[in-house]
Amino acid sequence: MVWLKGHRRQSLKLGLVIAAVSMGLFGAASLAPSEAVVAATTTTTQQQATLTLSDYEHASALQLAQMVRSGKVTKQQLIQLAMTKIKQDNPQLNAVLTLREDKALSEADAMTDTGQPFYGVPILIKGLAQELLGEPATQGLPYSSDRVASYTKPFVKQLQSLGFVVIGQTNYPELGLLNVTTSKLYGTASNPWNTANNPGGSSGGAAASVADDMVPLATGNDAGGSIRIPASWSGTIGLKPTSGMIVGDSATSSMASFAETESMADTETLFDNMLSGKVTAEAAPSDLKGQTIAYSTKSPVGTPVSQDAVNAVNQTVAFLKQQGFNVKQVDSPVDGKALMMAYYKSATSSGYAANTFARSKFHRDLEADDGGIMTYALYEASKKLNPNTDGVAVKQTIATATQQMVDFHKQYPLYLTPTTATTAPSNSDPAFLPEYVAKLRNIGSLDSAAQMQLIYDAWLHGLSKSPFTQLANLTGEPAISLPTYVSADKLPLGVQFQAAKGQDRLLLAMGKLFEDQGQLKMRDTQNQTGTSDNGTPNTDATTSTTPTQTPDTTPQQPTQKPVTTPTKPTTKVTYPKAVYAKTGINVYKDVDLMHRVKHFTKQARTKAVTFNVLGVAYSKGGALRYRVKGGYITANKQVTAALYYQTNPKCVRVIAAHGIYEYQKFQFKASQRTTHLKKGAVVTVKLIKQQGKLTQLQLTNGQWVTGNKTCLIQTK
């Protein structure tokens, strides 16, 4: 953070080893207690939104901006929809700390359309180091709870210039020092996938808010994994750009600012419009599949790695090989333990900064009970480090690691690992084990070497869950976490790609490939109820979701080696006569989905692309494909769903913009029309009837309506 830079030389005199390390060793963000959400009461006249809350939840930021421009919804209505969702779900998640509804509505009123890519889109910003004039800037310190920002950071100003309307701030741990979101000041955050678990940190509030569809995009920052760790544990896309790449960031800092997202189009557009110009963003290579990829599941600090993390990487490796990439198992050349010790030494500047605030507040030095125990330990350790020995050693360790990765990427442009070694930890799992808390309280009595060893040992409980992310920060390289895996316990886990400095667009291209191939597993495509091709419950990307203890998810199996011709199923397969796309989808010339013919972007369900299914085929690996006009599409239930209801829904709600008609008879002739049901109407279903491709629903009043899922959604 800017406000820390002036103190670093005084505290450590380490020669500004890692600027802004206080932004979090791991990357955390937390949720505020529900009663802490501050929402100004708006006096603006409430307008009836033409966009449903469900439509809002499942639209990308770019899609929302287009809806504003087309007149489907107003900027003010988008803000009101976001507020409705936040107030509905935040009491369970504690993801959002403050709301600025009146200010946001006023700013939306004053905004004019000048071609901004995110015109009128509501956004949440991280409460740490993304200051907005007049809003809280506490750094998560209990004794700074009344501190407000005296100016707006360049990063936030740039967001506003792109058309975003800031509606509030998200939760984070004290000084961003944890890989989970919990603090004395703001409490503990919960994960939308399972509220008993943490969303990660330090941008945990941001990740939770995006995973829960409060907003399509929320900003974070990352000095050790603070964007990527919560992305892994919350099932979002998390890019940490090259150091200095983004407006407001330093090229010599370990901290990078960006966002939690759910769409690669949003991610790439935000990246292209947030460039600082200090560092060159190289073009993605034209031969993407010519890039050799190294992969490893070995912890760089020698800690255990869960089977889920290994499975996530193995699935990705299988997919990459199926796509034609050259993939080799190679461990990082860097001494991970030495690198983390250097990291912790530089992090003592956070403790010094916390003491500066304590002295201003209390007119005394920081004490163990003033804030988090690690904040106190880092302050005590900062007093005994020697700038002539420790400072030089830290700089040399980082320089060595940086050069090792430069050489590594000459042979392996991409480095694949799990983003985290485990799925999201339980909120009952402490950040520091009790025996270490007691030792940290007495850290002042130890010499410098013993202090640093104690800090390393105390942090190992947390570090062991996320040991893969810090390397990119210390070397300044870009890295991205992609949500590709869901465990048997129905929790997400991401995989991380790391590239050489300036190769951010290579990472974006990889993310786009995974998205196009249906490899990304977002919560809203994992946790919905619809109808599968055999009449059993399946995912449905248009039903409004709320936090749950038991989301319905199923990990996708790795794709097998491709074949060149379709193979017929050995038994008769029941399949839908028509399907709609719940995400972006590709049509391929071949059954192995290697040669793309056409791409369709993700749309709201009422406008989703639909396909008549002409038949089915299997790849050699057993993956089911639908044969459609022009080629083949995936039958992945996270990507496609039956266009018509095939099991009897009890109640349905009309989502068609112009409503639908009830008919006297099944034949649906114009002369048989009776009542017109407007958008939003809810009716009760008596039975379902199928004839050919079509499915019709008979209501309890004896009338008939269409069973088309782009017109109706199942409801209570």
Distance between CA atoms of residues 286 and 305, nearest Å: 34
Q: Which amino acid is at 631?
A: G
Report residue 32: phi and psi, to 5°.
Answer: -80, 155
- Domain extent for 618: 527-643
Mean pLDDT confidence for 148-164: 98
**Residue 338 placed within a domain:** no
Supply the pTM of this predicted model.
0.72
Q: 548 falls in which pLDDT band (50, 70, 90)?
A: low
Please tell me whether residues 585 and 708 are part of one structural domain: no
Q: The CATH number of the domain where 214 resides is what?
A: 3.90.1300.10
Please tell me whether residues 220 and 268 are part of one structural domain: yes
Q: 540 falls in which pLDDT band (50, 70, 90)?
A: very low
pLDDT at residue number 601? 84
Asked if residues 556 and 319 have their Cβ atoms less than 8 Å apart, the reply is: no
Helical spans, DSSP H, in 517-657: 523-526
Which residues lie across from 652 on neighbouring strands?
683, 714
**pLDDT tens, 233-285?**
999 999 999 999 999 999 999 999 999 999 999 999 999 999 999 999 999 99
Query: Does residue 681 carry a pLDDT above 60?
Result: yes
Helix, coil or strand: residue 464? coil
Query: Does residue 25 carry a pLDDT above 90?
Result: no
Helical spans, DSSP H, in 363-475: 373-382, 392-411, 434-441, 448-463, 470-475
Please tell me whether residues 557 and 656 are part of one structural domain: no
Please tell me whether residues 630 and 680 are part of one structural domain: no
Mean pLDDT confidence for 343-370: 97
**Residue 295 placed within a domain:** no
**pLDDT tens, 617-659?**
886 556 788 999 999 998 887 688 888 877 778 898 999 888 9
Which of 103, 126, 602, 637 is catalytic? The answer is 126
pLDDT at residue number 710? 83
Please tell me whether residues 32 and 93 are part of one structural domain: yes
Domain edge (last residue) among 249, 273, 297: 273
Residues in the chain: 716
**Residue 372 placed within a domain:** no
Please tell me whether residues 62 and 183 are part of one structural domain: yes
| 226 belongs to the catalytic site | yes
pLDDT at residue number 714? 86
34-48, 236-250, 419-433, 572-586: which has the minimum mean pLDDT? 34-48
Q: Which residues contact 162 (CB under 8 A, 6 or more apart)?
A: 116, 117, 118, 270, 273, 274
Of 525, 521, 527, 529, the C-alpha closest to 546 is 527
pLDDT at residue number 635? 87
Please tell me whether residues 164 and 236 are part of one structural domain: yes
Asked if residues 368 and 358 have their Cβ atoms less than 8 Å apart, the reply is: no
| 257 belongs to the catalytic site | no
Please tell me whether residues 160 and 139 are part of one structural domain: yes
Which residues lie across from 414 on neighbouring strands?
293, 499
Please tell me whether residues 676 and 557 are part of one structural domain: no
Beta strands 293-295 and 414-418 are: parallel
| 126 belongs to the catalytic site | yes
Which of 183, 190, 202, 332 is catalytic? The answer is 202
Tokens for 648, please give them. Answer: 């009897």
pLDDT at residue number 49? 54
Q: Report how many domains make up the chain.
A: 3
Which of 183, 203, 226, 382 is catalytic? The answer is 226
Asked if residues 170 and 209 have their Cβ atoms less than 8 Å apart, the reply is: yes
Q: What is the mean pLDDT of the chain?
A: 87
More confident residue, 46 or 577: 577
Please tell me whether residues 164 and 255 are part of one structural domain: yes
Please tell me whether residues 633 and 672 are part of one structural domain: no
pLDDT at residue number 573? 55
Of 181, 214, 421, 233, the C-alpha closest to 311 is 421
The 8-class DSSP code of residue 652 comes to E
Q: Which residue has the tokens 């406000």?
A: 3
Q: The CATH number of the domain where 669 resides is what?
A: 2.30.30
Of 703, 629, 528, 636, the C-alpha closest to 681 is 703
Please tell me whether residues 534 and 637 are part of one structural domain: yes
Domain edge (last residue) among 586, 612, 643: 643
